[in-house]
Amino acid sequence: MSIENISSNRSSGGWHKQYTHASRTVHCDMRFAIFLPPQASETNKVPVLYWLSGLTCSDENFMQKAGAHRIAAELGIAIVAPDTSPRGENIPDDPDGAYDFGIGAGFYVNATEAPWNRYYHMYDYVVKELPAVIEDHFPVSDIKAISGHSMGGHGALSIALKNSDLYRSVSAFSPIVNPINVPWGQKALSNYLGEDKNAWREYDSCALIKKATSHLPMLIDQGDADQFLHDQLKPENLLQAAEEAGYPLELRMQEGYDHSYYFISSFIEDHVRFHAKHLK
Amino acid sequence: MSIENISSNRSSGGWHKQYTHASRTVHCDMRFAIFLPPQASETNKVPVLYWLSGLTCSDENFMQKAGAHRIAAELGIAIVAPDTSPRGENIPDDPDGAYDFGIGAGFYVNATEAPWNRYYHMYDYVVKELPAVIEDHFPVSDIKAISGHSMGGHGALSIALKNSDLYRSVSAFSPIVNPINVPWGQKALSNYLGEDKNAWREYDSCALIKKATSHLPMLIDQGDADQFLHDQLKPENLLQAAEEAGYPLELRMQEGYDHSYYFISSFIEDHVRFHAKHLK
């Protein structure tokens, strides 16, 4: 598994770097970004926080806008940000070029329907291939946490709920918690997975939390002025499912905050410190 | 002087807002952004740090990427970021659409040559019109500092050196300190000001520092891996001019850092704290 470095920037005493590699999971060249804190070395392998971005994003949005490097440098944590879908000229996309499906909108599932099923395996890419690449090429340990925003918050929560043995903690900003019951999720899941709703529930955090047999530390921040709160996000559905399941989670409603990266940069320090406690 | 609000985002306990207004100085609609810290109110007017961006930037780059809101919120300082030039369909631009002259590249001068001289008065816009607009519409005092990056570092230094009564302190990241002697500056100044080099020297920090009669606190950060260091930036020229003039300044060479916003976000906290000391 070779990777190609395409950019390097010194940042907060560490390094921000972008790479591409030929993914055998999603069958195209994939780009990812990594922040390596100054503490990272072959004799001091650091834990990794995986960040999953939202609709339309690439590996760059979080690295450029969240202000997370400073805190990760202080705490000695690497951050890895993959792209949000396979990408390239030969990758099938939404026929209307919509922002909420296809390229930039992989929803962190393994598609089963043609033509998506050859490429759109972002679940396996994030859970299996990418960590193997990261651990093979960088001075990091296999100790991991996961976080994300919006569609990426859905990805982080659903992946953590299905893989509580792989991650120490999970957090999310403005996550889509109940994709089977909201327009963004219904469009994506019906296209990627077909009409069998049993398959959809395998990626629905409200359904998954009821089946969880072990509990990861879970922190969620949600702005109460988020323009997508009532139609697409519905955090109250996850809160209710968690209560029914006896799954402890902290959901913080943040007054006046919207869906933008200004919200993420306002609270990212809390999230990185939350994960750092569990990554030690 | 009316202004129109076009976006609002809660950020770090304060507010990030964008506005447009019809500028009588540059004869077009101008957009600016302001960060208002939570302390700002009509009974508690806060000081303002003006940020001048570099080539190709708008009011958005610094606000989205620098990570400054958190620190400004802690210290009770507003931040104002103007655009880097007049902008719009009727604004004359570089005939080849180059990034280093015309739209996105006003160089914070008052152009005297046609066709630039009707619009490209970014010096007067930043020094006179914009502060009047800001102080008229927001809960801020007239206590000011100024900072910027690259072309905006040139703007901050040259404006502060010419107006030591208006600002309490000045700082810069990777500034163009000697525009009369580097390609970016020579292209811009010859087009905006004509061939009279006496006019150019009115905007050259190395020339201005020798004429300065009072000394503002001055902090400069420069990455030693900056791809523009030797051809366009030449901080050693300012250091030498300052020594000859007996003007105290702190120039910090930062090992391994480049010209990107990752450099700015790595050291912006130092700059905001530096200004806060002098804005009290």
Helices and strands in chain B: count of H runs, count of E runs: 10, 9
What's the pLDDT at A214?
94
B10 to chain A: nearest residue by CA?
A257
A255 to chain B: nearest residue by CA?
B10
The predicted-structure confidence for B176-185, as pLDDT tens digits, reads as follows 999 999 999 9
Instruction: Give B70's contacts in chain A (Cβ within 8 Å).
Output: 67, 265-266, 269
Q: Is B137 a catalytic residue?
A: no
Q: Please give the mean pLDDT across all residues of chain B.
A: 98
- What ipTM was estimated for this complex? 0.95
Of B85, B122, B76, which Cα lies nearest the Cα of B103? B85
Interface test with A, best of B64, B65, B254, B262 (most A CBs within 10 A): B262
Asked whether residue A18 carries a pLDDT value surpassing 90, the answer given is yes
What's the pLDDT at B205?
98
How far off is chain A from B184, nearest CA to CA, in Å? 23
Contact A134, A79 (CB under 8 A): no
Q: Is B147 a catalytic residue?
A: no
Residue appearing with tokens 């990266």:
A261
Phi, psi of B249 (to 5 degrees): -150, 155
In this complex, the residue of B64, B225, B269 whose CB is nearest that of residue A65 is: B64
| Beta-carbon separation of B266 and A223 below 8 A | no
The predicted-structure confidence for B186-230, as pLDDT tens digits, reads as follows 999 999 999 999 999 999 999 999 999 999 999 999 999 999 999
Asked whether residue B263 carries a pLDDT value surpassing 90, the answer given is yes
- Tokens matching residue A170: 């999970």
Of A174, A157, A159, A168, which Cα lies nearest the Cα of A267? A174
- Tokens matching residue B240: 């030498």
Rounded mean pLDDT of B67-89? 98
What's the pLDDT at A1?
80
The predicted-structure confidence for B146-162, as pLDDT tens digits, reads as follows 999 999 999 999 999 99
Number of residues that this document lists for chain B: 280
Residue B61 is inside which H or E element, if any?
A: helix B60-65
Query: CA B263 → CA A13, B199, B253, distances in Å?
Result: 10, 32, 12
Asked whether residue A260 carries a pLDDT value surpassing 90, the answer given is yes
Classify strands A3-11 and A14-23 as parallel, antiparallel or unpaired: antiparallel
The predicted-structure confidence for A192-206, as pLDDT tens digits, reads as follows 999 999 999 999 999
Of A178, A250, A169, A174, which Cα lies nearest the Cα of A215? A169
Read off the pTM: 0.97
- Tokens matching residue A87: 């990408």
How far off is chain B from A271, nearest CA to CA, in Å? 14
In this complex, the residue of B64, B225, B261 whose CB is nearest that of residue A261 is: B64
Cα distance between residue B130 and residue A226, in whole Å: 31
Contact B146, B52 (CB under 8 A): yes
Asked whether residue A162 carries a pLDDT value surpassing 90, the answer given is yes
Residue appearing with tokens 């009770």:
B76
Interface test with B, best of A255, A260, A266 (most B CBs within 10 A): A266
Rounded mean pLDDT of A97-114? 97
How far off is chain B from A120, nearest CA to CA, in Å? 30
Cα distance between residue B265 and residue A16, in whole Å: 12
Interface of B with A (CB under 8 A): 9-13, 16, 64-65, 67, 69-70, 223, 225, 255-258, 260-263, 265-266, 269
Residue B200 is inside which H or E element, if any?
A: helix B197-201
Reduced to 3 states (helix: H, G, I; strand: E, B; else coil), residue B28 is strand
pLDDT level of residue B1 (50, 70, 90 thresholds)? confident
3-state secondary structure labels for all residues of chain A: CCEEEEEEEEECCEEEEEEEEEECCCCEEEEEEEEECCCCECCECEEEEEEECCCCCCCHHHHHHCCCHHHHHHHCCEEEEECCCCCCCCCCCCCCCCCCCECCECCCCECCCCCHHHCCEHHHHHHHHHHHHHHHHCCEEEEEEEEEECHHHHHHHHHHHHCCCCCCCEEEECCCCCHHHCHHHHHHHHHHHCCCHHHHHCCCHHHHHHHCCCCCCEEEEEECCCCCHHHHHCHHHHHHHHHHHCCCCEEEEECCCCCCHHHHHHHHHHHHHHHHHHHC
What's the pLDDT at B126?
98
In this complex, the residue of A9, A13, A70 whose CB is nearest that of residue B67 is: A70
